[in-house]
Structure 1
Amino acid sequence: MRQPQIDLHRLLTDVRELVETESPSTDLDAVARSAEVVARLGAAHLGAPPERLVVDGVTHLRWRFGSAPHVLLLGHHDTVWPHGTLDRIRYAVTDGVLRGPGCFDMLAGLVMAFHAVAALSSPEGICLLVTGDEELGSPSSRALIEAEAREASAVLVLEASVGDGALKTARKGTSMYEVEVVGRAAHAGLEPDKGINATVELAH
């Protein structure tokens, strides 16, 4: 069977455009601008525009081809890098190594998804969900991810692996808590007996 050919030059050009579109998670305007670039690149490869799903001001994108059950390709377009990072870490490919803020996590993965799906004889049975708040713990996209995953026969997360490039079959999860500790205010030097040390109680 003839293997589909991937245009490496175009792939790297696409990665560069995403890397040079800053998308720090906490800047919703930047995330929205990034989403438009992702939407345009994805539409060019996949032949269809995405659904734009804005939840709590965060822009997520979804392409669906066919009905469930499907294979869900999951990624994100927000990054941890603050504005101005490109001034000191520029996009570059040196000695076969791609560098640039967000290229590893996970803009190159998104571009590879577009190119891979475009190389299929048909995208039927594929859902591609690209969220805009993964680096914050997916607070606004969690429900979208869970809903799509329930209908999927398989979910492939497109972040890069490390080291030898082995396929990751599981990822650790995270939890976020807000803890409020209340004490009784008192002057520590003059009247400590009137206070309650909230720090000690928190330690307990």
Structure 2
Amino acid sequence: MDKKSMVADLAALVTAESPSSDLSAVDACADVVADIGERHLGSAPERMRIDGRQHLRWSFGAEPKVMLLGHFDTVWPLGTLAELPWSVTDNIATGPGVFDMKAGIVQLFHALASLPSLDGVVVLLNSDEEIGSPTSRALIEEQARQVDAVLVLEAAADGAVKTARKGMSLYCVDIEGRAAHAGLEPERGVNA
């Protein structure tokens, strides 16, 4: 892998700001991701638009075995580059989205480009991970059921390998009962 090429690809991705809330910015970033991917993988992605959001998928071979999963949206609002510009100093790249997860996308493309065959590989990159993947969740789940393994190339602190991910769930719990003072009149209450 050529470091200079990787840095150039990362610069292109980071300077294509892609806050989840700005669909036109995310679409513009999808074009940059697609161009980089096509250059390294030799084929254009399948572009899937779900509820106005664009997601990208490359599939190689008849039977998928491994899915490489990632996202190109970021939490950084449009205009962050003015305050946190793209730079590389002492071999450390900084800018909105470098760590989460544009560097992982660049590594993904460069690693795949070095393989003699991509048969059995699926790459799925979504545009709504930072807001809980509302439009890509079903797509991710469907694709994941078809493969033996899913790898997410999101960065980890200190160069470690992440072997698990935390998630989030939202619940609405309705509780019915009757309040009463537990010490003075417990018999008047109804424990929910």
> TM (normalized to structure 1)?
0.82
* Match of residue 67 from structure 2: 72
* Match of residue 34 from structure 2: 39
2:155 alignment partner, SS class = coil
2:79 to 77, 84, 88: 84
Query: Equivalent residues in 2 for 1:114-125 (5 A)?
Result: 114-125=109-120
2:163 to 161, 166, 169: 169
Query: Equivalent residues in 2 for 1:152-191 (5 A)?
Result: 152-163=147-158, 165-177=159-171
Post-superposition shift, 1:169?
1.1
Q: Does 1:24 align with 2:19?
A: yes
Measure, in 2, the Cα distance between the counterparts of 1:69 and 1:126.
Answer: 6
Measure, in 2, the Cα distance between the counterparts of 1:108 and 1:178.
Answer: 36
- Return closer, same or farther for 1:38/1:178 CA change in 2, 3 Å cut-off: farther
Post-superposition shift, 1:168?
1.3
- The CA RMSD measured in Å over matched residues stands at 1.5
Tell me the matched-pair count.
Answer: 175
Residue type matched to 1:33 in 2? A
Measure, in 1, the Cα distance between the counterparts of 2:63 and 2:164.
Answer: 23
2:104 alignment partner, SS class = helix
> TM (normalized to structure 2)?
0.87
* Match of residue 53 from structure 2: 58
1:87 alignment partner, SS class = helix
Post-superposition shift, 1:172?
1.1
State the percentage of identical aligned residues: 55
* Match of residue 185 from structure 1: none
List gaps (5 residues or longer) in structure 1: 1-5, 181-203
- Return closer, same or farther for 1:69/1:49 CA change in 2, 3 Å cut-off: closer
Post-superposition shift, 1:135?
0.1
* Match of residue 183 from structure 1: none
